[in-house]
Structure 1
Amino acid sequence: MTPPVLSVKSSILIIGAGTWGCSTALHLARRGYKSIQVLDPYEVPSPIAAGNDVNKIMEHKELKGKKKSNPNPGFDVLLQIDSYQDAKSVAFVTCTRAALKGWKEDPVFSPFFHETGFIVAGSTPALIQHIKDEEIDPSEGDFAKLETAEDFRNTMPPGILTGEFPGWKGWFCKKEAGWIHARKAMVSAYTEAKRLGVEFITGTPHGEVVALTYDEGDVTGAQTADGAFHRADHTILAAGAGADRLLDFKKQLRPTAWTLSHISMTPEEAHKYRNLPVLFNISKGFFMEPDEDKHELKICDEHPGYCNFIRDPRCSGEERSVPFAKHQIPLEAETRARDFLRETMPHLADRPFSFARICWDADTVDRAFLIDRHPDYPSLLVAVGGSGNGAMQMPSIGGFISDALEGKLQPELKEVVRWRPEIAVERDWHSTQNRFGGPGQVMDFQSVRDNDWTQISSGEIIG
């Protein structure tokens, strides 16, 4: 079967109004599509969306090795692609360079990019070597090596980094990196898409998709919890970690969660902590400057992730990770976050948390995005698999998804982000996927007892 004809008059249904859904709606509307409808069970910004966050890291990794120019302005590709890993690197850099351009130049997103710099560090010889081999290329870009605790302290004003940084070594990238105010950027994309004529149906039951609908062997849209059927010529499934509940992805998606927490600061403290570079230890955690509205400092502990493994009757009783919302974190995650603070900012390590939550994303097997027409349902395009890197793609990812819908996704991306169940046949659901920290393994929320969660009283739900 071939996809139906696509024109600016085609009806397009987007399932999911998170980071990728809002970006896609915006890009399609900018291209002149006139009939775009977006469904989501929550108002924008959704309290469970990964993109509903005060701040997310924006880092741009260059390609290692020789490069040549790409016909598409603003992109480079490897001179020689010798492996699938090389191809993934090309695809990721293609996406992040486009995103960086958007964060700097697109008025919908540029107010929310803070180019404060990015510090990446490790605490053991093996992890430090991993950073050198996989995370950075000191020969490219503006990297300063950090060898001592004093080197780390000098990256920020006096009195911020007061810790001893035991065993830490790292690199400081001062340009084209920093953080994004993800929630405000997502709301900005949503607002502009609405202005351009996109229809958003949000909230339960009207926006809660309970099933895709089918006719004559193809997807025809979706049914919502109120019993309504939303028919469309083309359907885009961009529901993040929730997408796995609506379609059989043949083990290509694993909903995985991370843990974040906030510390309240006074307005005076928040001012002192403004414009700081992101500090990220790949096995300990990271922090970014306080939110300008609520004066809360965000701290995350670093680990391979949590899953919620249950026997899913819809998948022949196989073990699957099923996401759920919770605005608390396991006490073990709180301990890890405070340990990170004791090594970096011990003067804050014992302050009470003002907010915490688990944050879900969807991991593909190889952590490359999944953006492709479904091989069996030509009217369905899947756009999922952020794999921990989805939010920073917000300004441009909708453009790549629109390209895929139009059948003109550039070759260096198309092969990497294709529908690829053959690499997931023997998938290890417990794989760390090259992530570090915590106990060194994927953790299971089913093992966290009811009284082993934080008990934080929180008002407005933010990320």
Structure 2
Amino acid sequence: MVMKNSYDVIIVGAGSMGMSAGYHLAKRGVRTLLIDSFDPPHDQGSHHGEPRLIRHAYSGGKPYIHLALEADRLWRELEEASGQKLLVRSGVLNMANQSVSKFASRFPDAEEAGVQVERLDATEVHRRWPGIVLPESYEAMYEPNAGYLHSERCVAAYRKLALAEGATLLPYNPVQHIQADRAGVRVRTHAGEFTAEQLIVSAGAWFKSLEPFVSLPIRAVRKTVGWFRTEPRLYDAGAFPGFTLGTDHGGYYGFPSINGNGLKIGRHDGGLPWAPGQQAAPFGHLEQDEGDLRRTLAAFLPQAAGDLLQGAVCKYELTPDENFIIDRHPAYANVLVAGGFSGHGFKFASAVGSLLADLIQLVPTSVEVDTFSLSRFNQIKS
């Protein structure tokens, strides 16, 4: 393939957000180049080891609720365009010790936005899902219209459609240098130098590799997830929901056993620091890789604490407040930065990609972008 070296927009980082943005831009006729260090979908970021939860009654309030609903609409559009099943409405059960988290504040915003939610006590949770055992101090919020996304299928679908719309993808090409000024941007990889009028940087846990061009308050951490053998039927897809669980010992999330592959569970908090270029230790390197997950299952989902069927490692990219960054570079108005999505970001990828396309084209948007502004961090370097 003979590549051009001049485009309207270059996207550095073609994972969840980048690939979605590439599709939305290409669909609008924008000449788009996507550059990635690997070949998406891949296992070097945050989108592998599907599935991912999608829920709408969000603790971040109205901006996140509205973004989640828009993302849901766009995922359905992607299903139709790709002809693939991407979103499963399994319901999502949010559970927490009331000393750790309370759901009361979420109900008014959810109901105002038309999101169906139910408040359940520990007894009712066990009645509906006998595989769950909660202490009386726990409460739950159930979203029947929430569910999970097949994340790798989603990225692959956006990739296929973006290329069909005329986008160019350059995989296995780590960025070596970025230069920007009012006239445009230059991005150099081992495949050559590429120019564009505008740039989107959505590098996930790899943002540190792009310093000093962009320096964000994002820390990358190694995270682990595991799939465990369950009692038949209790935790199977179709009968059991996706879930979140806030305990005195950490926050967890999980999914039903899909096609007999075991119940998937991960821990949201904690994790080991990681930096680009480092080799992330494999699953099982630390006792807590499996131990934290197994102890939580034994306490709250005891018949799902069977044999470990599979373990995986992924990388989180976290801001200090765990809210996203979607903003213009502090020094270059023609550069957008999008990061800090890990832990709860994948569900929003469809809407974030569309939002980035709107910002590139200066299209008015209903998204409250101030929520994601860089200005909330004093330590940002230009």
**Which moves more between the two structures, 321-330 or 111-120?**
321-330
Task: Give TM-score scaled by structure 1 length.
Answer: 0.70
Does the 8 Å contact 1:274/1:290 carry over to 2?
Answer: no
Task: Give TM-score scaled by structure 2 length.
Answer: 0.84
Match of 2:138 in 1: 168
| Deviation digits for residues 8-60 of structure 1 (CA, Å, limit 9, x no counterpart) | x9522111110001100110011111x21111121121212211231111010
Does the 8 Å contact 2:236/2:257 carry over to 1?
Answer: no
CA distance in 1, matches of 2:207, 2:85: 30
| Deviation digits for residues 414-449 of structure 1 (CA, Å, limit 9, x no counterpart) | 3233332x623399xxxxxxxxxxxxxxxxxxxxxx
| Alignment partner of 1:371 is 2:371 | no
| Deviation digits for residues 391-419 of structure 1 (CA, Å, limit 9, x no counterpart) | 00122211100111122353652323333
CA distance in 2, matches of 1:339, 1:352: 12
State the shift of 1:309 in Å.
6.8
Partner residue of 2:87 out of 101, 113, 127: 113
Match of 1:91 in 2: 63
| Alignment partner of 1:202 is 2:158 | no
Match of 1:18 in 2: 15
State the shift of 1:251 in Å.
4.4
Distance 1:424 1:332, change over 3 A: farther
Match of 2:3 in 1: none
Partner residue of 2:344 out of 386, 389, 405: 389
| Alignment partner of 1:151 is 2:128 | no
Does the 8 Å contact 2:51/2:149 carry over to 1?
Answer: yes
Match of 1:228 in 2: 192
Distance 1:108 1:240, change over 3 A: farther
Query: Residue 169 of structure 1 aligns to which amino acid in structure 2?
Result: E
Match of 1:348 in 2: 304
Match of 2:295 in 1: 339
Q: CA RMSD in A?
A: 3.2
Distance 1:409 1:22, change over 3 A: same
- For residues 119-138 of structure 1, the aligned pairs below 5 Å read 119-123=93-97, 125-128=98-101, 130-133=102-105, 135-137=106-108
| Alignment partner of 1:240 is 2:240 | no
Does the 8 Å contact 2:223/2:272 carry over to 1?
Answer: no
Query: Residue 211 of structure 1 aligns to which amino acid in structure 2?
Result: H
Partner residue of 1:55 out of 51, 56, 59: 51
Does the 8 Å contact 1:242/1:323 carry over to 2?
Answer: no
CA distance in 2, matches of 1:138, 1:378: 34
Does the 8 Å contact 2:220/2:274 carry over to 1?
Answer: no
CA distance in 2, matches of 1:116, 1:342: 23
| Deviation digits for residues 88-112 of structure 1 (CA, Å, limit 9, x no counterpart) | 7333223112101123344247721
| Secondary structure class of the residue paired with 2:264 | strand
> Which consecutive unaligned segments of at least 5 residues does structure 1 have?
1-8, 64-87, 311-320, 428-463
Distance 1:61 1:396, change over 3 A: same
- Kindly tell me the number of residue pairs found equivalent between the two proteins: 366
CA distance in 2, matches of 1:189, 1:307: 31
Provide the identity percentage: 18
Distance 1:363 1:323, change over 3 A: farther
State the shift of 1:252 in Å.
2.7
> Which consecutive unaligned segments of at least 5 residues does structure 2 have?
1-5
Does the 8 Å contact 2:184/2:195 carry over to 1?
Answer: no
Query: Residue 368 of structure 1 aligns to which amino acid in structure 2?
Result: N
| Secondary structure class of the residue paired with 2:46 | coil
| Deviation digits for residues 158-193 of structure 1 (CA, Å, limit 9, x no counterpart) | 6xx064657432122212x11111111111111111
Distance 1:119 1:138, change over 3 A: farther
State the shift of 1:127 in Å.
1.9
